Structure 1
Amino acid sequence: MSILRTVDESAATGDVAALYEEEIEAQGYVPSHTKVMALNPEAARAWQSLAQSLARPMGKRRWELVTLAAARALRSQHCLLAHGRRTMLLLPEEQLLRLAEDYRDADLTEAEVAMMAFAEKVSTASHAMTDDDSLRLREVGFSDREIVDIALAAAARNYYSRAIQALAVDVDVPPDLPDPLREALLRPLGAQA
């Protein structure tokens, strides 16, 4: 639990109130991570702008798959749950359950699997990446711009996930996330159901 004193919804004004209202409209509640990040509303807006500038050209599906791969590698429960919920709009629940268990066995395209493996490596061993990692993305059809966008999306997820983990932000479980999916998203890698 974070020791930070956040602004209560009833006391929020200005851009903090606007950030809260956007979350209520999108999710039905204000997540703990939004309340903490809203302590610096300018940075919260800069994050939103960065995320939108990356997600828009990538498309929602690619953005969410990269996000889930990076979040899994980072063990970011916050982002796994939030983006697992968002991905429910893009994939059937059964496929999303399989993706949560092992994206390599979830009926994704070869390009999507390569993209997720790249995002995973950005999050765990970016220091060891070479041209071979980017060449693999090129081999499965990504353009140079798309390779840059994938790297930036994974790196951006590292920024946000690490910040909320460092601040010990409470993990919110979206109320409309099915229990089996929640359990699969939070299950440690390699653990059996």
Structure 2
Amino acid sequence: MRRFPVPDRIDLPDDVRERIDAETEDAGFTPNVFPAFAYKPSHFRPFFDYHDALVEDSTLERGEIEMLVVTVSGVNDCLYCVVAHGALCRIYNQAPKLADQLATNHRLADLGDAHREMLDFAVKLTESPGEITDSDVDALRDAGFSREEIWDITSVVAVFNLSNRMATVADMRPNDEFYDLGR
């Protein structure tokens, strides 16, 4: 993070430090988003709690969540999230080219019709939220998504629009490790 100071580990509240340590153990390195968001522990906690809820209590597959994140992050030109979640997208979808396709132009990606409809909705919600209508939601239903899945799609898009903006303003950079994962 280049525009805001990253706090010293020793100065962090115990719960924040423990969460960062757990993520480091799981990943084998510390994803930069964790120490960056620790800049404000009172924001760190609900941000990661909501992220966890999105991926743990969702009717969507984890690969679908990562497809949404990469597509939205590509639209928002968020380097950190494209690279970090691109790695997760490759891993969860077992598709080494998919993240690159989604980040640059999801319309040309190797997708089925339902996922293309999902990502079209995600892009419209990102670029023109005031233009979302009943027909957009109906198109998702017609593509086979349940009411709860549509809620979850919307939630992922919303939180990653927030995340992209925070990462961009903070000038958060992806860890080198993310570039090679899942390739």
* TM band (smaller chain): 0.7 to 0.9
Structure 2 contact 68–122 (Cα < 8 Å) conserved: yes
Judged with a 3 Å threshold, the aligned counterparts in structure 2 of structure 1 residues 142 and 48 are, in CA distance, closer, same or farther, namely: same
Q: Which amino acid aligns with 1:86?
A: L
Question: Using the alignment, how far apart are the partners of 2:158 and 2:23 within structure 1?
Answer: 23
Structure 1 contact 63–153 (Cα < 8 Å) conserved: yes
Question: Using the alignment, how far apart are the partners of 1:65 and 1:94 within structure 2?
Answer: 12
Unaligned runs of 5+ in 2: none
Question: Using the alignment, how far apart are the partners of 2:178 and 2:54 within structure 1?
Answer: 27
Structure 1 contact 81–174 (Cα < 8 Å) conserved: no
> Paired residue for 2:30?
30
Q: How high is the TM-score relative to the length of structure 1?
A: 0.81
Deviation larger for 10-19 or 77-86: 10-19
Query: How much has 1:120 moved relative to structure 2?
Result: 1.2
RMSD: 2.3
> Paired residue for 2:40?
40
> Paired residue for 1:190?
none
> Paired residue for 1:137?
140
> Paired residue for 1:147?
150
Question: Using the alignment, how far apart are the partners of 1:47 and 1:13 within structure 2?
Answer: 16
Q: Which amino acid aligns with 2:174?
A: D
Structure 1 contact 9–20 (Cα < 8 Å) conserved: no
SS at match of 1:177: helix
Percent identical pairs in the alignment equals 25
Q: Which amino acid aligns with 2:159?
A: A
Alignment: residue pair count? 179
Say whether residues 1:7 and 2:7 are aligned partners.
yes
Query: How much has 1:59 moved relative to structure 2?
Result: 2.2
Judged with a 3 Å threshold, the aligned counterparts in structure 2 of structure 1 residues 74 and 97 are, in CA distance, closer, same or farther, namely: closer
> Paired residue for 1:80?
82
Counterpart of 2:71 (choices 69, 72, 77) is 69
SS at match of 2:179: coil
Q: Which amino acid aligns with 2:43?
A: A
> Paired residue for 2:54?
54
SS at match of 1:107: coil
Q: Which amino acid aligns with 1:54?
A: L
Counterpart of 2:177 (choices 175, 178, 182) is 175
Q: How high is the TM-score relative to the length of structure 2?
A: 0.85
Judged with a 3 Å threshold, the aligned counterparts in structure 2 of structure 1 residues 68 and 139 are, in CA distance, closer, same or farther, namely: same
SS at match of 1:102: helix
Structure 2 contact 74–102 (Cα < 8 Å) conserved: no
Structure 2 contact 67–102 (Cα < 8 Å) conserved: no
Query: How much has 1:11 moved relative to structure 2?
Result: 5.5
Query: How much has 1:158 moved relative to structure 2?
Result: 0.9
Say whether residues 1:108 and 2:111 are aligned partners.
yes
Unaligned runs of 5+ in 1: 182-193
Moved over 4 A (4+): 10-13
Query: How much has 1:45 moved relative to structure 2?
Result: 2.2
> Paired residue for 1:160?
163
